[in-house]
A and B are shown apart, each in its own frame.
Chain A
């Protein structure tokens, strides 16, 4: 088994190269990149529609050859694409993510400064999701077909058919002080005068800004996890060992919560590994809705501004976390269920 996981870890490298190569090629080959944007600005914005394909031929453009060359050098477009990729990769191995075009700061510093905001929301909502969904799923399974099951199913369907960010937008409209109630702040991670508050005000302010986004995050994963738990428990309740436990006269409570539950939780526990990736995946839309300056919004803005070093930096971190998370999931799986043997 150790050799299996060592192999898995080694396989990260080719997969990682594949992911970054694909994205790198897309960014560099598809027209509309930073160079074209810059040229468009220089030409006076307005009629920049036809820029896309006309970089090389400066026939009717009044940008001096030397300036064009300088710009190409700045963005690294003067070298062949694969050389550029290997340059980028060798910098990455030395932990050099490059410098952001827009912020003129090292990409790594920018990402780290945003990372804790995303982790803050991600972690809280992750824990809350498990605290709500697992007991709810178990309860739904035990009371399968009851009124409680029926009405809580309504919530599950709501979760299925409403993306988390959409629910967040709806809550903002209702509680953000527009046409209805003014209960929660409109946007941001903290108030602007956060530093001048006393300790209790700070806690209140932080919570105040946390509640709506966290609800949006939880709604996003609510349905899947609840149904997964429910189905897993129901499946286990129909197994032979449960019948045996009943037959030998154990109480219903003991059978369900001691015997069946422990086996039912195996597939749920393995989901924990994926949470690193999930935090990143859901965050772009929710951070956009609530205007939270986290990784997701950084990624969004880097795409809009054609800030390629930041775009690639975030891709690297996100996909790396996802790859590690997948392996982590399998490790937990093997640990939680001794019958599982990876080869």
Chain B
């Protein structure tokens, strides 16, 4: 009985499942996918591994969890203003040897933490054992900033891609489904949008508004939804004339149902196969905007902002080389994913004679 069930399942594998299986066979893309997903999930609990707050402090027979709650320095009778410095505290407890201890994250520096008090020379510092990728001009740890910047970059790119595709798909669907005057009017508007020098306009807007994360997402979304409309429009035109749509029309399906539950699921190929490359583009745009100084406001940890600092003085090579390396590795992983997705969704088998 069970075996039969299994057989049945195999017979009726959906096309999506087939493509997923095909995707899994393309090792380079599949492993990149796993790595990026893993790192992105980790980046949400990053303070556990990289951060200034101690995980656990044992002080006078009481346990504290500074990672969840704020503790002033005076709570541990530390003689500095503001929040406790757990690295100094750890040293102090060790010297005292009085049964108190501090459990620090693996890499005990925060992304926005000014380390001026704990370093000797003037910032920025080149890589050392203490700060493996050096510090930036405001004496913040580069490695911590890069690590936190990963979450910012990916989250930014994911949300811009999602909303841009949402708008693009809706408009493309309207064009392709209704055709005629709707198509013509929208097409004229789209042509204006497509000819706008996008980066230039985004820079103009964000130079005037000084955006935060959500505002910058909004600005980027408003100017980057155009690309996908052409493909969706084409897909809708093609699908609309097929028999299953005629059948649905004959059965009295309303337009809403025709668009969303009949045609759209069959037009997903361009959406899925363009998404990784859109994400790559959006990450690169964010880095470019940050580099020009029109991106996320300080002190958001961002890759482009580090590069901007590095370009002010040619000697600060680590402020340019490391962010670019991280950007390169991230983008190449996503390009691998995109390549594999495209191959799984849009297989083109070329037969060549010789």
Chain A residues with CB under 8 Å of chain B are 11, 14-15, 18-19, 22-23, 26-27, 30-33, 144, 157-158, 160-163, 165-166, 169-170, 172-174, 176-180, 186, 234-235, 237-238, 242-243, 246, 252, 277, 280-281, 284-285, 288-289, 299-300, 303-304, 311, 314-315, 318-319, 322-323, 326
B121-159, CB < 8 A from A:
none
- B226 shortest CB reach to chain A, Å: 13
In the complex, which of the residues B192, B197, B314, B350 contacts A237, with contact meaning CB atoms closer than 8 Å?
B350
Contact B207 A163 (CB under 8 A): no
B249 at the interface (CB under 8 A from A): no
Given A26-B205, A163-B287, check contact A299 B321 (CB 8 Å): no
B106 at the interface (CB under 8 A from A): no
Contact B288 A163 (CB under 8 A): yes
Residues of chain B with a CB closer than 8 A to A144's CB = 352
Listed by A's residue number, 24 A-B pairs whose Cβ atoms lie within 8 Å are: A14-B188, A15-B191, A18-B188, A31-B208, A157-B336, A161-B334, A163-B287, A166-B287, A170-B320, A170-B321, A178-B314, A178-B316, A178-B317, A179-B314, A179-B317, A234-B352, A285-B288, A288-B292, A303-B204, A304-B207, A314-B200, A319-B196, A319-B197, A322-B197
B327 at the interface (CB under 8 A from A): yes
Q: Give the residue name and chain of the B residue nearest to A281 (CB).
A: B197
In the complex, which of the residues A19, A162, A180 contacts B317, with contact meaning CB atoms closer than 8 Å?
A180
- B151 shortest CB reach to chain A, Å: 19
Contact B292 A300 (CB under 8 A): yes
Q: Give the residue name and chain of the A residue nearest to B197 (CB).
A: A318
Contact B208 A161 (CB under 8 A): no
Residues of chain A with a CB closer than 8 A to B188's CB = 14-15, 18
B201 at the interface (CB under 8 A from A): yes
Q: Give the residue name and chain of the B residue nearest to A30 (CB).
A: B208
Contact A323 B292 (CB under 8 A): no
Chain B residues with CB under 8 Å of chain A are 188-189, 191-192, 195-197, 199-201, 203-205, 207-210, 280, 284, 287-288, 291-292, 307, 310-311, 313-317, 320-321, 324, 327-328, 331-332, 334-336, 348, 350-354
Residues of chain A with a CB closer than 8 A to B310's CB = 169, 173
Residues of chain B with a CB closer than 8 A to A300's CB = 203, 292
Can you list the 10 inter-chain pairs with the closest CB atoms, starting with the nearest?
A: A161-B331, A178-B314, A18-B192, A32-B208, A161-B332, A30-B208, A238-B350, A173-B317, A173-B320, A160-B335
Measured CA separation A279–B23 after assembly (Å): 37
Measured CA separation A23–B207 after assembly (Å): 13
Measured CA separation A26–B196 after assembly (Å): 13
Measured CA separation A158–B351 after assembly (Å): 28
Q: Give the residue name and chain of the A residue nearest to B350 (CB).
A: A238
Measured CA separation A163–B324 after assembly (Å): 10
- A295 shortest CB reach to chain B, Å: 11
Q: Give the residue name and chain of the A residue nearest to B188 (CB).
A: A14
In the complex, which of the residues B288, B307, B315 contacts A179, with contact meaning CB atoms closer than 8 Å?
B315
Contact B324 A169 (CB under 8 A): yes
Measured CA separation A172–B328 after assembly (Å): 17
Q: Give the residue name and chain of the A residue nearest to B284 (CB).
A: A163
Residues of chain B with a CB closer than 8 A to A280's CB = 197
Measured CA separation A160–B209 after assembly (Å): 31
- B279 shortest CB reach to chain A, Å: 12
- B294 shortest CB reach to chain A, Å: 8
Given A22-B196, A26-B204, check contact A160 B332 (CB 8 Å): yes
- A13 shortest CB reach to chain B, Å: 12
Given A22-B192, A162-B331, check contact A284 B353 (CB 8 Å): no
Measured CA separation A163–B351 after assembly (Å): 34
Given A18-B192, A166-B324, A170-B321, check contact A178 B197 (CB 8 Å): no
Contact B192 A15 (CB under 8 A): yes
Contact B354 A252 (CB under 8 A): yes
Residues of chain B with a CB closer than 8 A to A288's CB = 291-292
Given A161-B328, A234-B350, check contact A169 B311 (CB 8 Å): yes
Measured CA separation A319–B208 after assembly (Å): 21
- B296 shortest CB reach to chain A, Å: 17
Contact A238 B351 (CB under 8 A): yes
Contact A26 B332 (CB under 8 A): no
Residues of chain B with a CB closer than 8 A to A246's CB = 353-354
Measured CA separation A173–B288 after assembly (Å): 17
Q: Give the residue name and chain of the A residue nearest to B277 (CB).
A: A160
In the complex, which of the residues A32, A166, A170, A235 contacts B209, with contact meaning CB atoms closer than 8 Å?
A32
Contact A172 B314 (CB under 8 A): yes
Contact B280 A161 (CB under 8 A): yes
Q: Give the residue name and chain of the A residue nearest to B314 (CB).
A: A178
Measured CA separation A323–B307 after assembly (Å): 34
Measured CA separation A70–B327 after assembly (Å): 49
Q: Give the residue name and chain of the A residue nearest to B338 (CB).
A: A160
